[in-house]
Amino acid sequence: MQLKSFTCERCGQNFERRNGKRIYRFCSRTCTQLTIAPGNRGYRVLATKWLVEHGEDRTIEMLAEHMGKRVAASIATNTGRTLSESSRKKIATSCTGVANVAKGKTFVELYGARRACELSQQHSDVLKAGYASGRIKPTARSRSAPTFRGVRLRSRLEQSAIEMLEQRDNLEFGVDLLYEHPSTFVTWTDRYGIDHTYVPDLLDVKNDIVYEVKPAWQVANPTDDMLRKMIALGSTGRKHAYLTDTEITRDLVRRA
């Protein structure tokens, strides 16, 4: 499917989606929640209704369950899908030319353990120098990642976190709330002894706090790399914290 352009009815941002027929009214879940008309079963309407009926704690749990069911349904729909024969033929005919000897191989398999370690370190050093100088900036992971006030973010959860911090802590994005600022970059070492550059998401300049935005399930079950990154960030002496979708939803409910 081709990308189609839309304009958010709430914030006025232009955004793109891959969809054949559907018309998108809002660029993010936050804009949907803040704008959706009463009577429609949007998260804001559900939150307002459940808050009266069940109280704040139970409302948070019910919203998390509701969102989880939607995610599970989406995963179930997409899991196990296979490419059509026509798609396979297109891929096969497009992958012609000089054979890539490195395809499907790791650095260790291609160069040997010692040379692979040297190349990884060189790559890490170049990236760190580029990040420190501002010459290199981390790119968004997805073509559908939002652009918020001229800054390309990595996820819509990050946009929701920014909007929450602006309202809750009276911050202004781009002034005292900075995105992936070079002063927050830290070096961390993985379990194989290789150094990497960790790029935290947000810097609250006013309160000198560094935030990492993650889904609650990832924070509850952190990977070894996540733990090492936060330890490295803590070793700088800077205050730091996770911002999760659960916390953002809880704040939304309080302001509903």
As a whole number, mean pLDDT of residues 89-108 equals 63
Residue 116 has pLDDT above 90, yes or no: no
Provide mean pLDDT across the span 26-42.
61
Percent of the chain with pLDDT over 90: 14
Q: Which domain range does residue 112 map to?
A: 98-136
Helix axes 43-54, 245-254, angle to 10 degrees: 70
Question: Per the domain annotation, does 80 fall within a domain?
Answer: no
**Most confident by average pLDDT, 80-84, 133-137, 230-234:** 230-234
Identify whether the C-beta of residue 28 lies closer than 8 Å to the C-beta of residue 160: yes
Is 33 a domain residue? yes
Are 219 and 128 found together in one domain?
A: no
**pLDDT interval class at 166 (50, 70, 90):** very high
Q: Which of 136, 164, 184 is the last residue of a domain?
A: 136
Q: Is a pLDDT exceeding 60 seen at residue 256?
A: yes
Looking at residue 22, its pLDDT comes to 73
- Distance (Å, whole) CA 252 – CA 33: 9
Instruction: Quote the pLDDT of residue 142.
Output: 56
Q: What is the pLDDT of residue 37?
A: 47
Residues 110/181, Cβ–Cβ less than 8 Å: no
- In terms of C-beta distances under 8 Å and separation of at least 24 residues, what long-range contacts does 44-53 make, across chains too? 44/252, 44/256, 47/249, 47/252, 47/253, 47/256, 48/256, 51/253, 51/256
Does residue 75 lie in a domain region? no
Question: Using CA atoms, how far apart are residues 199 and 154, in angstroms rounded to an integer?
Answer: 12
Residue of higher predicted confidence among 13 and 78: 13
Beta bridge partners of 209: 204, 239
Here the contacts of 230-234 (C-beta below 8 Å, separation 24 or greater) are 231/188, 232/186, 232/187, 232/188, 232/189, 232/198, 233/184, 233/186, 233/198, 233/200
Same structural domain for residues 176 and 125? no
* pLDDT for the residue numbered 136: 65
| 181 and 241 within one domain | yes
Domains held by the chain: number = 3
* Separation of alpha carbons 219 and 161, rounded Å: 15
- pLDDT band per the 50, 70, 90 thresholds, residue 10: confident
